[in-house]
């Protein structure tokens, strides 16, 4: 019985195995080289989504219970704290509107293009783990709500990362600390442009291309320069921590700490960059002309 | 066929549970030691029911894991196909192995799995030190006896039910 079984099965098994091997390798090449498989990913992702929701739900429930059972005086404390914070922000905002108007006037004088405000939307990080060899997160906004590949993600303190794969109802995003992530930044103090690379450590970025004589020092704020195209300009990224100048080397050794606490946030903001929007709208504007 | 449907559902549930366990968030220090639940589950079912659960299942489950984790599409599918192929090929032998020897075999299979992940990552230019691949190999091996007892319980129940 068993000998018949093995004789009749093994060739078929080997053939199936070989076929699946080839299919896997073709898939990997297609996925890695050309990114052609977005549709496949989205279809399978739709099947995975319920599982992710189930895994995420106990954490959400816990959060909800904790919020529901917070004590009254604690709530009052928080309300007064938030009120104070709002007052401060409002005061700053008033100055901001004045500055914005002034900026627009100056830009008018210089005949520069008007800077348009970016649109933002709050997304929540789902409590599901992604690829363990990468710094990835899963957020609960997908293509249905307008997320797109390369979209910038920030929190209240600074840049978090960018969307790398959109599903229908959720997306994968790469944090700026991922070793394969690079971000064009500039020093806020003097506009010195450089690149910030992820290191794989959640609280450290690397600035490999700062020349030895460049004017950069610990405590400098790095903001997005907007040069890469993916990120709108002017969002805080990191604060320079150490600057080590090695006389023999062409570049100084500079590290920075991300402004946003990458591993603690739960709510993030997706940015619909104002600079991206004209490109999206163009086809729609062109058709009436014809 | 009717027995097939009633017998398959519990297995599918265990596989789905295993996939969910691979995306459950762990504290940062435990992250590199997450046991490879999907591989353990598939090894067990491929060993016990190689006619029903073979390389095809492994491939589909692998694609699902790839999408859930955002890895290169086909990476986990390839790795799971490999280990399930060897399991099905030698399932008669593995069934009569004493526990220690079987656990050692599982160790080898999971090590192969992790090596394939490492290799694909290397080709794709995702540079992660080799040492970070050992965590799952160790914890998976440690969890194998527990996993086997649990899945055997399910298998017994299914076979009694039918």
Identify the pLDDT of residue A286.
Answer: 37
Cβ pair A47:B68 closer than 8 A: no
Using pLDDT thresholds of 50, 70 and 90, give the confidence band for residue A282. very low
State yes or no: pLDDT of A2 exceeds 70: no
R_g (Cα) of chain A, nearest Å? 24
Cβ-based contacts of A170 with chain B (< 8 Å): none
Domain boundaries, chain A: 2-68, 71-115, 119-274
Q: Which two tokens stand for residue A92?
A: 């700053």
| ipTM of the complex in this document | 0.80
Q: Is the pLDDT of residue A30 over 60?
A: yes
With CA atoms as reference, the chain B residue closest to A54 would be: B20
- For residue A120, pLDDT over 70 is answered with yes
Listed by number, the residues of chain A in 63-102 with a beta carbon closer than 8 Å to a beta carbon of chain B are none
- With an 8 Å Cβ cutoff, are B70 and A172 in contact? yes
Enter the CATH code of domain B2-161.
1.10.1760
Average pLDDT for A269-288 = 52
Under a CB-based contact definition with an 8 Å cutoff, are residues B35 and B17 in contact? no
Interior/surface letters B36-65, b for 16+ CB within 10 angstroms, e for the rest:
bbbbbbbbbbbbbbbeebbbebbbebbbbb
Locate tokens 């990468």: which residue? A134
Q: How far is B48 from chain A (nearest CA, A)?
A: 14
CB contact under 8 A, B31 and A132: yes
List the end-to-end C-alpha distance of chain B, in Å, as a whole number: 12
Question: A40 falls in which pLDDT band (50, 70, 90)?
Answer: confident
Nearest CB neighbour to B78, from listed A24, A127, A172: A24
A265 and chain B: CB distance < 8 Å anywhere?
A: no
**Rg of chain B over all Cα atoms, to the nearest angstrom:** 15
- Number of other CB atoms surrounding residue A56 within 10 Å: 21
Query: Looking at the partner chain, which of A6, A31, A45 has a beta carbon nearest the beta carbon of B72?
Result: A31
For residue A62, the tally of other CB atoms under 10 A from its CB is 11
- Given an 8 Å threshold on Cβ–Cβ distance, is B55 in contact with A127? no
Question: CB A277: neighbour CB atoms within 10 A?
Answer: 13
Cα dihedral across residues A94, A96, A101, A102: positive or negative: positive
Q: What is the mean pLDDT of chain A?
A: 80
Residue B38 touches chain A, beta carbons under 8 Å: no
Task: Say if CB A9 and CB B53 are below 8 A apart.
Answer: no
Q: How far is CA A62 from CA A92, A103, B21, B72, in A?
A: 35, 46, 18, 33
Query: In this model, does residue A6 exceed pLDDT 90?
Result: no
pLDDT of residue B69: 84
CB A224 within 8 A of CB A232: yes
Which of B59, B72, B124 is the closest to A20 by Cβ?
B59
Provide the residue ranges of all domains of chain B, joining segments of one domain with +.
2-161
Please tell me the distance from the alpha carbon of residue B15 to that of residue B64, in angstroms, as a whole number: 11
Q: Would you call B23 and A128 a contact, using CB atoms and an 8 Å cutoff?
A: yes
Say what the pLDDT of residue A47 is: 83
Asked if residues A170 and A126 have their Cβ atoms less than 8 Å apart, the reply is yes
What angle in degrees, to the nearest 10, is found between the helix axes of B99-124 and B75-89? Answer: 150
A2, A24, A34: which to substitute to probe chain B, counting the most B Cβ within 10 Å? A24
Count of A–B CB contacts within 8 Å? Answer: 118
| Maximum distance among all Cα pairs of chain A, rounded to whole angstroms | 91
**What's the CA gap between A256 and A264, in Å, rounded?**
18
Nearest to A131 among B24, B32, B69 (CB): B69
For residue A165, list chain B residues with Cβ-Cβ distance below 8 A: 70
Q: What is the pLDDT of residues A139-168, one digit of tens each?
A: 888 888 888 888 888 888 888 888 888 888
* A154: its two tokens: 């920030």
CB < 8 Å to A127, chain B: 25
- Cα separation of B115 and A118, whole Å? 45
Ranges of chain B whose pLDDT falls below 50: 1-2
A196-215 residues touching B, CB cutoff 8 A = 202
Q: What is the pLDDT of residues A245-276, one digit of tens each?
A: 888 888 888 999 998 888 777 788 888 876 55
CB contact under 8 A, A128 and B132: no
Q: Any chain A CB within 8 A of the CB of B49?
A: no
- Average of pLDDT values for A21-46? 82
pLDDT of residue B6: 62
d(CA A253, CA A208): 7
What stretches of B24-133 show up as alpha helix (H) in DSSP? 37-48, 55-69, 75-89, 91-96, 99-124
Task: Find which of B13, B16, B18, B68 to mutate to test the A interface (most A CBs within 10 Å of its CB).
Answer: B68
Q: Do B25 and A59 touch (CB under 8 A)?
A: yes
Check if A34 contacts B (Cβ < 8 Å): no
Contacts of B92 in chain A (CB under 8 A): 2, 6
CATH number (3.40.640.10, 1.10.3660.10, 3.30.1330.20, 2.40.10.340) of A119-274 reads 2.40.10.340
B50 vs chain A: nearest CA distance in angstroms? 10
Among A66-75, A108-117, A138-147, A166-175, where is mean pLDDT lowest? A108-117
pLDDT in tens, A175-184: 888 888 888 9
Neighbours of A237 (CB within 10 A): 26
């Amino acid at each position: 019985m068993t000998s018949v079984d093995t004789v009749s099965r093994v060739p078929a098994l080997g053939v199936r195995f070989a076929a699946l091997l080839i299919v896997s390798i073709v898939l990997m090449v297609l996925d890695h080289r050309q990114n052609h498989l977005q549709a496949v990913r989205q279809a399978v992702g739709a099947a995975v989504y319920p599982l992710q929701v189930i895994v995420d739900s106990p954490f959400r429930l816990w959060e909800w219970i904790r919020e529901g059972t917070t004590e009254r005086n604690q709530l009052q404390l928080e309300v007064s704290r938030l009120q104070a914070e709002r007052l401060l922000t409002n005061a700053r905002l008033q100055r901001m509107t004045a500055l914005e108007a002034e900026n627009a006037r100056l830009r008018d004088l210089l005949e520069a293009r008007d800077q348009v405000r970016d649109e933002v939307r709050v997304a929540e990080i789902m409590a599901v783990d992604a690829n363990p060899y990468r710094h990835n997160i899963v957020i609960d906004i997908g293509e249905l709500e307008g997320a797109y590949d390369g979209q910038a993600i920030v929190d209240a303190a600074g840049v978090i990362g960018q969307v790398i794969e959109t599903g229908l109802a959720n997306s994968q995003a790469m944090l700026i600390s991922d070793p394969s992530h690079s971000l064009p930044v500039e020093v806020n103090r003097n506009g010195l442009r450089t690149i910030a690379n992820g290191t794989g450590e959640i609280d450290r970025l690397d600035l490999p291309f700062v020349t030895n004589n460049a004017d950069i020092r610990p405590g400098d704020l790095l903001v997005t320069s907007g040069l890469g195209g993916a990120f709108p300009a002017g969002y805080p990224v990191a604060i320079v921590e150490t600057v080590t100048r090695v006389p023999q080397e062409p570049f100084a050794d500079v590290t920075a700490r991300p402004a946003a606490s990458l591993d603690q946030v739960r709510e993030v903001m997706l940015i619909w960059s104002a600079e991206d929007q004209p490109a999206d709208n163009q086809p729609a504007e062109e058709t009436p002309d014809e | 066929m009717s027995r097939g449907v009633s017998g398959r559902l519990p297995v599918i549930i265990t596989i789905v549970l295993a996939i969910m366990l691979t995306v459950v968030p762990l504290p940062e220090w435990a992250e590199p030691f997450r046991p490879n639940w999907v591989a353990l589950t598939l090894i067990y079912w491929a060993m016990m029911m190689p006619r029903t659960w073979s390389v095809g299942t492994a491939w589909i489950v692998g694609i699902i894991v790839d999408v859930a984790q955002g890895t290169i599409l086909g990476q986990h599918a390839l790795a799971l196909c490999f280990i399930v192929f060897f399991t099905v090929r030698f399932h008669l032998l593995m069934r009569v192995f004493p526990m220690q020897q079987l656990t050692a075999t599982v160790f080898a299979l999971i090590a192969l799995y992790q090596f394939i992940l490492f290799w694909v990552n290397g080709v794709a230019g995702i540079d992660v030190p080799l040492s970070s691949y050992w965590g799952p190999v160790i914890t998976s091996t440690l969890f194998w006896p527990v996993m086997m007892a649990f899945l055997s319980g399910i298998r017994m129940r299914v076979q009694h039910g039918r």
